[in-house]
Amino acid sequence: MAVSTNSKPEGKRHTYEWYVVVICMLAYVFSFVDRQVLALMIEPIKKDLHLSDTQFSLLHGFAFSLFYAVMGMPLAYLADRFARPRIIATGIALWSFATAACGVSQNFIHMFLARMSVGVGEAALSPGTYSMLSDYFPKEKLGRAVGVYSLGSFIGGGIAFLIGGYVINLLKQMTTVSLPLLGDVRSWQLTFLIVGLPGFLVALLFILTVCDPQRKGLVQDGAGKAKRVSMGDSLRFIRTHGKTFFCHYLGFSFYAMTLFCLMSWTPAFYIRRFGLTPVEAGYMLGTILLAANTVGVFCGGWLNDWLMTKGRADGPMLAGFIGAVGMLVPAVAFTQADSLGVSLGLLVLAMFFASFPMPTSTAAMQTLAPNQMRAQISAVFLLVSNLIALGIGTTLVALLTDKVFGSPKAVGSSMSIVNLVATLLAAVLLWFGCKQFRLSLAREQAHVNPAGAVAHSGATELAHAAGTVPLDTTRARVPERKNA
């Protein structure tokens, strides 16, 4: 089965391509503002809607992650076939409307449905963006491009805390605010309206200025035409490289469990453990996210590209492993420190290393997968990752706090337990995944050039497996179906 290639000229500066990265990053900023602002307002929302920690975790994690993950599959299927900017812009408009709808919620069910809709809208962004960037950039620059895009998650998270803290401080003397049509709304409800509605401008900017790039590395049929690839083909590709995707999907999912645990429950921890106000927690954590996490994303993307240029074919997996090892101690220890200063210092380290997998997990998938499968394979990863990291991880912290320790002030101990287990599992899986990833790349290269592989008598594959020879993986193909 042939595969077309169409690489960029070596000297191309990719000016417009970097503009698209910035626009995609801006959309990602708004997605995380809309997603994360809920965490800072845990106490007033719990009080007004009469929620437990477990119910709040369902709003913050399960309601969002379930539909974010499930809807990612059909939306990725569309992104592999139709104009990706239009699909992404529609998703931006939907999640912006749903975030504003959170601001008029009157009970748990209203908020749950609104959070579900936020998840559906945001499911359109990352699979389509990853697919576009892999067409815009050569593989040796893909890590940095995805890294810049991924900055949006932590810029958005930081802005969410800063805006949330500002609005809470601004309205601290006011229990309700009167708005046209809506009547009296609480300050936390007004926050959702403020952060949700500007997203419509980003959707419009996306439609007017972002072009769908020419697809490269397309799987072709016998007549030399681009082959339509089904979800079944993508799942068979994943099964063909089962060990690699097992280590990748689960390894980076447990890594993300630690990250989302930190982002979801750290405000509550500092409010309950050290007596910070929501305003103080918002300003402090927003600053940390804007500094430590954004630097961490950039360093993770740079490390991935540096390892690739040094001939490490497993660069994306190895960079993830290095980050997990660096994150282990600070992610567990920061909740056990008696001093606020020591705790914040450890949190900065934890957040820095927790950001490494944002670009590296994506680079691994886009490097191995053929073009028509990239969005779908990314969607499968997001399905697994969000169900494990957001759906299970954040709720597990709440269950330990409510059912095991029986005290809201024990949330720090719950976080330490979840972070310890998740980070250890991530490090082990990614370490074993390095070898499996190298072997998968070697097998795909052998499929493209079987004569060359035979001529080398297996020596080339062994060299690739050792990570000492860089691979050209832009010609990866769909596994052939055997005749019955």
Alpha-carbon distance of 233 to 372, in angstroms, equals: 10
Among 157, 149, 106, 98, CA closest to 127:
149
Q: Is 295 exposed, middle or buried (0-12, 13-18, 19+ CB in 10 A)?
A: middle
Q: Looking at residues 113-118, what average pLDDT do you find?
A: 90
**Per-residue model confidence (pLDDT) at position 468:** 37
- On whether the CB atoms of residues 379 and 127 are closer than 8 A, the answer is yes
More confident of the two residues 22 and 472: 22
Q: How far is CA 242 from CA 249, 439, 444, 447, 448, in A?
A: 10, 11, 14, 17, 20
* Whether residue 466 has pLDDT greater than 80: no
Alpha-carbon distance of 5 to 13, in angstroms, equals: 19
Cα angle, residue 240 at apex, residues 234 and 243 outer, rounded to 5°: 115
- On whether the CB atoms of residues 66 and 112 are closer than 8 A, the answer is no
* Whether residue 464 has pLDDT greater than 60: no
Per-residue pLDDT of 438-460, as tens digits, reads 998 888 777 655 544 433 333 33
**Per-residue model confidence (pLDDT) at position 313:** 84
Q: Looking at residues 163-175, what average pLDDT do you find?
A: 68
Provide the residue ranges of all domains of the chain, joining segments of one domain with +: 15-210+230-466
Q: Is 421 exposed, middle or buried (0-12, 13-18, 19+ CB in 10 A)?
A: middle
Q: 80-94, 151-165, 286-300: which has the minimum mean pLDDT?
A: 151-165
Give 183's contacts (C-beta < 8 A, 6+ positions apart). Answer: none
Q: Where are the beta strands (DSSP E) in 323-468?
A: none
- On whether the CB atoms of residues 26 and 150 are closer than 8 A, the answer is no
Alpha-carbon distance of 381 to 87, in angstroms, equals: 19
* Whether residue 483 has pLDDT greater than 50: no
Question: For the chain, what is the mean pLDDT?
Answer: 80
Give 170's contacts (C-beta < 8 A, 6+ positions apart). Answer: none
Per-residue pLDDT of 330-378, as tens digits, reads 999 999 999 999 999 999 999 999 988 877 887 787 777 776 677 778 7
Q: How far is CA 231 from CA 66, 303, 444, 469, in A?
A: 19, 32, 19, 32
Q: How far is CA 412 from CA 117, 223, 336, 346, 482, in A?
A: 30, 61, 7, 14, 53
The domain defined by 15-210+230-466 folds into: Growth Hormone; Chain: A; (1.20.1250)
Alpha-carbon distance of 420 to 414, in angstroms, equals: 10
425: helix, coil or strand? helix
**Per-residue model confidence (pLDDT) at position 333:** 96
